[in-house]
Amino acid sequence: MDLTLKIWRQAGPEAKGEMKTYPISGVEEDMSFLEMLDYLNEQLIDQGIEPVVFDHDCREGICGMCSLFINGEAHGPGRKITTCQLHMREFKSGDTIYIEPFRAKAFPIIKDLMVDRSAFDRIQRAGGFISVNTSGNTIDANAIPVPKENADKAFDAATCIGCGACVATCKNSSAMLFASAKISQFSLLPQGQPEAKERVLNMVNQMDLEGFGNCTNTGACEVECPKGISLENIARMNRDYLFASLSNNK
Amino acid sequence: MASTSKGLFGSSLARKYWMAATGLFLCTFLVGHLLGNLQLFVTGEEGQLAFNEYGKFMTTFPVVKILSYLTYASVLLHTVDGIMLARQNRAARPVGYVKENQSANASWASRKMALLGLLTLFFIVVHMKSFWYEMHFGTLGTDANGNKDLWTLTVTAFEQWWYTAFYVVALAGLALHLSHGASSAFQSLGVNHPKYTPLINKTMTAFAWLIPAGFIAVAVFLFVVQPGQAL
C-alpha cells in the first residue's frame, strides 16, 4: 500500500519542530505500525536523511514504551491496543497518516516523536509502593485474606503500563488515570493500608508539581487506555484523597 | 512516608471538590427557582398578586436571605475556580496537536464546559440586571396589595421576542453544561459505585434537560400568551 506520512520532526528539546511529509510505498498490511516506521527509517537512511526517532521496546503491548498520537488519537484508531499492536491493515492505500508525539508540558520532547515520561516515575516514587519488612521473617502475601473482588480490581489497576496515553488523550493533559491506577492497586489491598493516606496525598501532590492538568471527567482517557483502566479508579482516588485530607493529622 | 499535601485547598483534586460542591448546590438552587417560576403560569391579577407576594417573601425571609448569599458565593467560587482550572489545563499543554480527533472519545459538552459555563455566567449577569437589580435597587411600581410589581416587569420583558430567544439559547447552553456537569460532580467527589452510578447518571441527565426545559417553557409561555396585555 502507498501512504503519505505527516510526521513531527524536532531536532532536540529546545529546537523548533514542524510536520514533515514523507510519501511511502510498498507498505504491507501485516506490518505493525512500528515496523512501518522501521521500514520508513531504512529508506530515509538510504537517502541520507536523519531517521525518525520514536520510542519502542517489547513490541508486544506490555512494556509501555511505545507512544505516538496517530490520526488524532493516542496509539491510533484501535481500542485497547498500544501502537506496537496496531497493524497497517487498519489503514487503506492512499491514506494520509498524521504521526505526532504525546503532547504535555510534563512530557517534554526529547527528539522527534520521543518524549520524556519520567514525570510518571517521580509520581510513582512519591508513594507507589509498600514498605515490607525484609529482616528474615517476611510474611507471605497470601497469608492475608483478600476479598476476590478487591484482588481482581487491584490487579486490573496494576495492569497500567504507564504509557501516558491518558495524558496524551486528555484535553487537559491530566495524569489522573495513571496516578489513580497506581494508587488503587495498593489501596484495595490490606498490604497497602498502613501507608494509604500518605500515598494518595503524596502522589497527588507530585502529580500537581509535574504540571499535569486537572480532570474534567470527559472519560477520553478510559476510551484510549490500551489496558482499559477504569474511571472508577479516579473516583477512588478522589474519595481517598478527600478522606485523607480531612483525617490527616498535619 | 511523610505527607506533603496542600489538602483541601489548592491541589488539583481539591479544586474539583469545590467545583462539584458548588455546582451541586447551584443545582438545588435551580429546582427552587423553577418552582417559583411555575407561578407565572397563573395569569391575570390573581397571578400578579401571588407572584409579587412570593417576590416579597423571597427578598425578606431570613432563611431565604442566607440561602441567597450562599448562592452568590457559589456562583462566584464556581466561576473563579473554573477559570483557574481552565488556565492550568491550558498551561498543561503549551503545544497542541496538529490533528486531534476529540470526538472519538469524549462528548462535545464535556469538552466545552468552560465555554458553556461562561455563556451561563453571561446569562446570569443579564438576568440579574433585568430582575434582581430592578427588584432590589430599581424603581418598581406597586400592585393592589402594595407589593413591588415584579410580575409586570417579568411578563413585559418576555413580550420581546429577542429576549425570549436569548433565554432559550442560554438555557439550552445551561442544559448542555449540566448534561455533563451534574453527573460528573459525583465522580469528582469520589462517588462511583457499580450499583448506584448508573442511577445517578440517569437521574442527573434527566435533571440536566428537564430543569432548563421548565425555565424555557415559562419563558415561551409568557411570550406566546403575553399576560401583561390583558391587565
Quickly tell me which residue has 531504512 as its cell.
A42
Q: CA A109, B105, B20: angle at the middle one, nearest 5? A: 95
B191 touching A, CB under 8 A? Answer: yes
A 84-143 near B (Cβ less than 8 A): 98, 100, 103-106, 127
- Average pLDDT of span A166-179: 98
Q: Point out the residue among A100, A104, A217 whose CB comes nearest to the CB of B93.
A: A104
Reported as a single tens digit per residue, the pLDDT across A11-39 is 999 999 999 999 999 999 999 999 999 99
Contact B210, B29 (CB under 8 A): no
- Average pLDDT of span A55-80: 97
Reported as a single tens digit per residue, the pLDDT across A177-229 is 999 999 999 999 999 999 999 999 999 999 999 999 999 999 999 999 999 99
A159 touching B, CB under 8 A? Answer: no
Contact A202, B3 (CB under 8 A): yes
Q: Which of B13, B18, B116, B201 to mutate to probe the A interface, most A CBs <10 Å? A: B13
DSSP string, A35-99: HHHHHHHHHHHHTTPPPPP---SSSSSSS-----EETTEET-S-SS--GGG-BGGGS-TT-EEEE
Q: Which helix (H) or strand (E) holds A104?
A: none
pLDDT of A87 > 80? The answer is yes
A236 with B190: Cβ contact below 8 A: yes
Phi–psi pair at B96, nearest 5 degrees = -85, 180
Percent of the residues in chain B that have a pLDDT greater than 90, as a whole number: 94
Give the SS3 label for residue B142. Answer: strand
Q: Tell me the CB-side half-sphere exposure of residue A110, using CA atoms within 13 A.
A: 9
A214 with B104: Cβ contact below 8 A: no
Average pLDDT over all residues of chain A: 96
Q: What confidence tier does B229 reach under pLDDT thresholds 50, 70, 90?
A: confident
pLDDT of B5 > 70? The answer is no
Q: What confidence tier does B231 reach under pLDDT thresholds 50, 70, 90?
A: low
Q: How far apart are CA B110 and CA A231, in angstroms?
A: 15
Residue B90, amino acid: R
Q: What is the pLDDT of residue B106?
A: 97
- Average pLDDT of span A44-51: 98
Q: Which of B1, B103, B116 to mutate to probe the A interface, most A CBs <10 Å? A: B1
Nearest residue on chain B to A172, judged by CA atoms? Answer: B89
Do β-strands A73-74 and A18-24 pair in parallel, antiparallel, or remain unpaired? Answer: unpaired
CATH number of A118-247: 1.10.1060.10
Question: B185-204 burial, b for 16+ CB within 10 Å, e for fewer?
Answer: bbbbbbbbeeeebeebbeeb
- The grid cell for A178 is 495513571
B93 with A172: Cβ contact below 8 A: yes
pLDDT of B227 > 80? The answer is yes
Complex ipTM over 0.90: yes
Q: Which helix (H) or strand (E) holds B108?
A: helix B108-111
pLDDT of B4 > 70? The answer is no
B180 with A217: Cβ contact below 8 A: yes
Percent of the residues in chain A that have a pLDDT greater than 70, as a whole number: 100
Question: A164-185 burial, b for 16+ CB within 10 Å, e for fewer?
Answer: bbbbbbbbbbbbbbbbbbbbbb
Contact B99, A168 (CB under 8 A): no
Give the C-alpha distances (Å, rounded to integers) separating A107 from A212, A244, B93.
9, 29, 9
Reported as a single tens digit per residue, the pLDDT across A217-228 is 999 999 999 999
Contact B223, B156 (CB under 8 A): no
Q: How far apart are CA A203 and CA A186, in angstroms?
A: 12
Name every residue whose Cβ is closer than 8 Å to that of residue B140 and which is 6 or more positions away in sequence: B134, B148, B149, B150, B153
Q: What confidence tier does B10 reach under pLDDT thresholds 50, 70, 90?
A: confident
Q: Which residues of chain B make contact with A235, given a CB cutoff of 8 A?
A: 187, 190-192
Average pLDDT over all residues of chain B: 95
Q: For the sheet containing A96-100, what is the strand order?
A: A18-24, A3-9, A96-100, A69-70, A73-74
Quickly tell me which residue has 455566567 as its cell.
B121
Q: How far apart are CA B191 and CA B185, in angstroms?
A: 9
- Average pLDDT of span B26-38: 98
Q: What is the pLDDT of residue B9?
A: 82
> Which of A130-139, A167-176, B122-131 is predicted with the least confidence, judged by mean pLDDT?
A130-139
Q: Which residues of chain B make contact with A237, given a CB cutoff of 8 A?
A: 13, 190
Do β-strands A114-115 and A3-9 pair in parallel, antiparallel, or remain unpaired? Answer: unpaired
- Average pLDDT of span A45-65: 97
What residue segments make up the domains of chain A, in order of their start?
3-111, 118-247
Q: Which residues of chain A make contact with B15, given a CB cutoff of 8 A?
A: 214
Name every residue whose Cβ is closer than 8 Å to that of residue B57 and which is 6 or more positions away in sequence: B64
pTM of the model: 0.95
A87 CA to chain B: closest CA distance, Å? 19
Q: How far apart are CA A38 and CA A28, in angstroms?
A: 13
Nearest residue on chain B to A194, judged by CA atoms? Answer: B1
Q: Point out the residue among B4, B17, B100 whose CB comes nearest to the CB of A205.
A: B4
- Average pLDDT of span B52-64: 96
pLDDT of B178 > 90? The answer is yes
Q: How far apart are CA A20 and CA A29, in angstroms?
A: 23
A189 touching B, CB under 8 A? Answer: no
pLDDT of B193 > 80? The answer is yes
Superfamily of domain A3-111: Beta-grasp domain (3.10.20.30)
- Average pLDDT of span B186-200: 96
Residue B211 buriedness (CB in 10 A; 0-12 / 13-18 / 19+): buried
Reported as a single tens digit per residue, the pLDDT across B140-154 is 999 999 999 999 999
pLDDT of B1 > 60? The answer is no
Q: What confidence tier does A136 reach under pLDDT thresholds 50, 70, 90?
A: confident
Q: How far apart are CA A87 and CA A70, in angstroms?
A: 12
B26 CA to chain A: closest CA distance, Å? 18
- Average pLDDT of span A113-124: 98
A72 with B1: Cβ contact below 8 A: no
Q: Point out the residue among A73, A106, A238 whose CB comes nearest to the CB of B13.
A: A238
